[in-house]
Structure 1
């Protein structure tokens, strides 16, 4: 069976590619012409150039495949970039889902818990909670819309499931993406933690469960791939221990964070490039993002692992490739 993977240079997508190859599966990756080639070095797979926003390129990439893992996405936690977020997250998902349906391929759409309703540690969210409480930024809203697109295609005959990972850490984070948080702590830039929290899971476990979802996930069903629930203060303290960095000093109040976020958003309007610290990301950092993953455990055998395991693996990988000694790119 030939499996197409989109977003194959990303953290989740690259772990999926490697998990497939380790099982002896034939893999085809759809990548843009400008994509980094390092994630594929030494791997036995077929690479085809194209963009998920190009419906013809997606149809060509789907020719002859029996399974599709759609992990491509535009991730920016800010209020800018609406057009790009919609083009990639919504229209791109529509293109991939339609092409998969046309060739009769089974599909796993990699969404995010940010598309769902928020939960707390005392009352964690699940797959059925109404999608409320989160920040209405392009990423959140377009991930929700991407799921609506997917479910519409299922009604037309697409055999597909959705997985919603929490905050993912692990090796093969080439960009880096979510591993930036770990690197910020390692470089002593995270001394004041916001008051929110998140669930942290291992990219390798997410990838293995995506393959299980391809095999036995129930069509039209959503699965939260959860993790260990930590406040950001707890998570950053753990990251500091793992990396040998200085731990956060305290939890910072919302007023100081709002000021920093407003300054970041204002700077983004001046430069045309919104920084990571902006009003949307600050608002999200003050919220609790906690979820239960009973359904994935019971139906897919999902085991999220611990935040320590995931962060340790990520840090080891970053150190081996020199990321620990580099400055982060904004």
Structure 2
């Protein structure tokens, strides 16, 4: 289904054509203070869209300071807030999410990732708005060494059923249910994103850890690294060019965590890892993280779920997005350099490293 109020363009259109299609369009962004939400908000503004953001506080959050956006105070888990924010909007980019990898925060993951998606999808269908649902490649199948998955690869059963993965998979199911009832929606699955405007930070935590602390051994798995700015460009293109009901991978360079960590160290003059954790080492580190979390009453970032995922092979093929959306991935070195410059400029790194950068 195509909403009459949303201008559409041809797949693979130029950036100028896309900007023309987006100019003046009313777009709601949820999760606008997060990594992908903040980047896509900035790009939508650059393309001339009228952007509205659903935020929890009446005071303007730092990530949205000096941005020409309309703020609606509310909660993505509250139906009245969602419906109020979506009024008179042609498109909703649903980027809100709880991204903690672990076994705790079950209630939070279900509330934001699952229930929030249900409310947004239902509201978009009722109000005849297009929904761009930001999911994750972690809802996709994982394979063995050198096995590259795409949108049609069957679920292998080897995936880690953490609260994050389970809640995001259920969220996609809810979007598909509303598609069957007439919702105009596209599902986008980004890879491991790095880049600027990572305020919390999210995936940038790994980058900062490698840059500022010694870790001789990287996780033993593989990942698909992409620049959040390229993902955001893909999101903008999907608004005007993607076919409703389609699922797109927005991933990047497939590489080992060891290769990624060595590149991070090189970009920041950090400590270069020399090898990878094996299966037994990963298990020990993960279990130790679980035990530490139980002792202090809060689950750490390093736990058995995150270590299990970091030991898997997450290789993905973005060919569909390249073909239909003109998606592209810039070189990793550029992404790391720009991300590090942003972190240093906004005070996330130690003083000596900020000066070195």
TM (norm. structure 2) is 0.89
Partner of 1:269: 294
Cα deviation, 1:99-124, whole Å, max 9, x if unaligned, reads 11111111100000000101356220
Distance verdict in 2 for CA 1:34–1:274, change over 3 Å: farther
Q: Distance in 1 between matches of 2:325 and 2:92?
A: 18
List runs of 5+ in structure 2 lacking aligned partners. Answer: 1-24, 352-357
Partner of 2:19: none
Q: In structure 1, which of residues 96, 101, 106 is the aligned counterpart of residue 130 of structure 2?
A: 106
Partner of 2:90: 66
- Please say if residues 58 and 73 of structure 2, whose CA atoms lie closer than 8 Å, have aligned partners that are also in contact: no
1:325 aligns with 2:350: yes
Q: CA deviation at 1:9?
A: 0.3
1:4 aligns with 2:28: yes
3-state DSSP of counterpart to 1:295:
helix
Query: For this pair of structures, how many residues does the alignment match?
Result: 326
1:206 aligns with 2:231: yes
Q: CA deviation at 1:196?
A: 0.5
- Please say if residues 106 and 159 of structure 1, whose CA atoms lie closer than 8 Å, have aligned partners that are also in contact: yes
Q: CA deviation at 1:215?
A: 0.4
Partner of 1:22: 46
Q: In structure 2, which of residues 153, 158, 162 is the aligned counterpart of residue 129 of structure 1?
A: 153
Partner of 1:47: 71
Q: Distance in 2 between matches of 1:35 and 1:120?
A: 47
TM (norm. structure 1) is 0.96
Cα deviation, 1:161-218, whole Å, max 9, x if unaligned, reads 0000000001000000001111011012432111101011011111111011010111
Matching of residues 30-45 of structure 1 within 5 Å = 30-33=54-57, 37-45=61-69
3-state DSSP of counterpart to 1:274:
coil
- Please say if residues 120 and 291 of structure 1, whose CA atoms lie closer than 8 Å, have aligned partners that are also in contact: no
- Please say if residues 214 and 271 of structure 2, whose CA atoms lie closer than 8 Å, have aligned partners that are also in contact: no
Partner of 1:311: 336
Partner of 1:233: 258
Q: In structure 2, which of residues 303, 306, 321 is the aligned counterpart of residue 296 of structure 1?
A: 321
Matching of residues 144-183 of structure 1 within 5 Å = 144-183=169-208
Q: Distance in 2 between matches of 1:223 and 1:296?
A: 6
Q: Distance in 2 between matches of 1:86 and 1:219?
A: 25
Q: Which contiguous aligned blocks of 4+ residues in structure 1 show a shift greater than 3 angstroms?
A: none
